[in-house]
Chains A and B, each alone.
Chain A
Amino acid sequence: MSEFWSTVQSVFNYRFVLQYQDQFLLGIYNTIIAAGLSLVLSLTFGFVVALMRLSGRKPLVYAATSYIQIIRSTPLLLQIYIVYFGLPSLIPAMGRMPEIVLGTIALTLHTTAYMSEIIRSGILSVPRGQREGAIAVGMTTLQQYRYVILPQGIVNVIPALLGQTAILIKDTSLLSLITVFDIVSAGMLLNSDLVRPNEGFLTVAAIFFAFYLVMVFVSHLVESRLAGRGWRSVA
């Protein structure tokens, strides 16, 4: 038995991980801040961009579509660099911002484009009759969205929203390239100090996987909160 454990420990010794616990926690903290803020902001702005595209007003539709296409056609890393180097040269005050703020802005700009397309398809997935039912009882446009269109539309696209959120969380690792200390940075540091790639990188992988499990759980909560369990069952 002890031989087994020593074999395991030669492959993966959790003590090395504990030794770098503070660095991993800092990485987790930064990832949560960057991904969490970007998630909330990109959902909010994504909703606005989706409404612009659905508005039928040419200037709004054109602005929204152009934005989405520009974001989709360029690499995220480039967008991060443009925000990191470009914004401060445009607005000098931005130069004093911590890297993580600039990184969060870049992630938000990027993710908003994708979220807006998901939200738009969610809104379009709600049958026309649902909106008419809401109009007929006297709901304002705002109430139609709040009580009927968004709950149903969002539940319909939860798998896509979950996927995009997982991508967002993983994309925070690119922020290490603008010196944000993220989870991957912690793994890198461990490995370059101790030359223990398993402890360094498998830990990073496990943390990302744990994030994903949490998001799956949250998406179930959101789903049951927006629409009760029976609504898709057959009579």
Chain B
Amino acid sequence: MLQARKAGSQATTVSIEIQNVEKRYPATGNGPGTHALRNVSLSVSKGEVVVIIGPSGSGKSTLLRTINALETVDGGSIMVDGVSVTDKATNLPAFRTRVGMVFQHFNLFLHMTAFRNVVLPPIAVKGVSKADAEAAANKYLARVGMLDRAHAYPAQLSGGQQQRIAIARALAMEPQVMLFDEATSALDPEAVGGVLDLMRELAGEGMTMVVVTHEMSFAREVADRVVFMDAGAIVETSTPEEIFQNAKSERTQKFLSLVGSA
């Protein structure tokens, strides 16, 4: 599936290199373990937008979260911009400053204003000066259209507004890669479009992005490649045209007909 890309790409153009990753969630008192990722390999080039689709529980979030080591892996390796995420010696906090993550439920710091949410991480984590961080916060909040709500707390904002601020927070770290985990799934229908537009703009500017979404129209329009996952494995990886018009796997076809985009 990914050999075609890999063969042609130079080391410098590869952003994310996931090789044979295995992930198991251990059994707990109230349930058996899950084999969440089965021999998953995926390579993402710089500036590429990869959209991951698949049924609920297929391991999309888990895969995304292994990229910035929010989840550890049980096998295989992951490199991001030349840094091995799966190497125990890697300084993960420092590495994570290069990878922005946008969550389904925003995860803004609830006890801080929107402005502080965006200003704090560069100051606390990267040692950026207060003045520079504030200038950057103003810039990114303006960019996501939230400057006028900068001094509101997350609880005073709608889901769509919170997600825009979460995107500004991630961008203020000036990441090389952005990960989106169902960034619009928790939003009211009228807020979805605005957040997708922002993501589309970012993609247009050449940001390397890995996007988990159920918005098939976004996948179709914005993705360079679409990955279909099922039961912890990558079933199929293709261009959007390929996948939406003539998916090779029956499981992909079935999924797409269920979500109404075939």
Contacts and interface: CB of A to CB of B under 8 A. Distances in A.
Interface of A: 129-130, 132-140, 143, 147-148, 151-152, 155, 226-228, 230-235
A132 B103 contact: yes
Interface in B142-195: 152-158, 166, 169-170, 173
Nearest to B94: A138
Most buried by B among A130, A135, A143, A227: A135
A87 to B, nearest CB: 41
A139 B70 contact: no
A195 to B, nearest CB: 54
Contact of A235 (B96, B110, B155): B155
Most buried by A among B108, B109, B120, B155: B109
A151 B116 CA distance: 14
Interface string B88-107: 00000111110111010111
A229 to B, nearest CB: 8
Contacts of B259: none
A129 B107 contact: yes
A228 B125 contact: no
Nearest to A226: B111
Return the 6 tightest CB-CB contacts between A and B, nearest first: A133-B107, A227-B111, A138-B97, A137-B121, A230-B153, A136-B101
A134 B92 CA distance: 13
Given A230-B152, A230-B155, A138 B107 contact: no
A14 B107 CA distance: 58
Contacts of A132: 70, 103, 107
B112 A228 contact: yes
B96 A137 contact: yes
B45 interface: no
Contacts of A147: 109, 120, 124
B138 interface: no
Contacts of B120: 147
Contacts of A140: 93
A152 B103 contact: no
B173 A138 contact: yes
B122 to A, nearest CB: 9
A137 B111 contact: no
Nearest to B110: A231
A41 B175 CA distance: 41
24 contacts: A129-B103, A129-B106, A130-B107, A132-B70, A133-B109, A133-B166, A134-B109, A136-B101, A136-B103, A137-B121, A138-B94, A138-B95, A138-B173, A139-B93, A139-B121, A139-B124, A147-B120, A148-B109, A152-B110, A228-B111, A228-B113, A228-B153, A230-B156, A233-B153
